[in-house]
Amino acid sequence: MATLTPATELEAVNFLLEAIEEETVNTLVNNTDPDVAAAILYLNTSSRALQIAGWEFNTENSYILSPDVSGRIEVPANVTKLTVPGKRYTVRNRRLYDRDEQTYTFTESVEAEVIQLLSFPDLPEPARQYVVLDAAFNFMAKRAPDELIAKLTRAQVTDAWNNFVADDTRSGNFSFSHNAAIQNRAR
């Protein structure tokens, strides 16, 4: 018997294609099928919607950002939120901006809490399962709005959500000051 491994992005896309009764594919590389492109779009949209809240798996509490030779701090493109306690910093045009001093120039490194968007293979398996089922539900609802299918799939999405939250809760550091998901819900 083959070893069971976490879901791949190809498996996720094929799950979405099967949900709308389309043929599966062997690769995502250089694939020009519009249904494959749509499936990837739905998968990415669902993944972003989940991750933007900030969870244990995609929140870094002591992320160091260092200025370049001109004093500018470039923020990685996958960072969706950046917080520096006691400072009014924001991200503009992928650079850190000090709103109090009205400058992009920094003389020292900055320690921040960041929420990062991770690629599908970097998600924990419960998050992958939720993303796939949520994307499939939305993909099917757009393509074939059959009420019975939608009800059954929504129940699966809800189960996957509950499993994901339980997993994140078990693996997390839940002191109020160190957990972005809790802080986001408290605001």
**Which residue in 52, 47, 49, 57 sits closest to 120, CA to CA?**
47
Angle at 108 between CA 106 and CA 109, to 5 degrees: 105
pLDDT higher than 70, residue 145: no
Residue-level pLDDT at 171: 66
Where does the pLDDT of residue 119 fall: very low under 50, low under 70, confident under 90, or very high at 90 and above?
Answer: very high
Neighbours of 44 (CB within 10 A): 16
Where does the pLDDT of residue 81 fall: very low under 50, low under 70, confident under 90, or very high at 90 and above?
Answer: very high
Condensed to tens digits (0 to 9), the pLDDT of residues 152-166 reads 567 777 877 887 787
| Burial class of 79 by CB neighbour count within 10 A (0 to 12, 13 to 18, 19+) | middle
What is this structure's pTM? 0.78
Where does the pLDDT of residue 143 fall: very low under 50, low under 70, confident under 90, or very high at 90 and above?
Answer: confident
Average pLDDT for 92-121: 97
Instruction: Give the H/E segment covering residue 92.
Output: strand 89-92
Where does the pLDDT of residue 146 fall: very low under 50, low under 70, confident under 90, or very high at 90 and above?
Answer: low
Q: How far is CA 133 from CA 13, 41, 46, 79, 126, in A?
A: 11, 14, 9, 25, 11
**Which residue in 161, 155, 123, 167 sits closest to 9, CA to CA?**
123
**Which residue in 80, 56, 94, 74 sits closest to 178, CA to CA?**
56
| Distance from C-alpha of 101 to C-alpha of 82, rounded to nearest angstrom | 17
Residue type present at position 180 = A
Domain boundaries, the chain: 9-52+123-186, 56-116
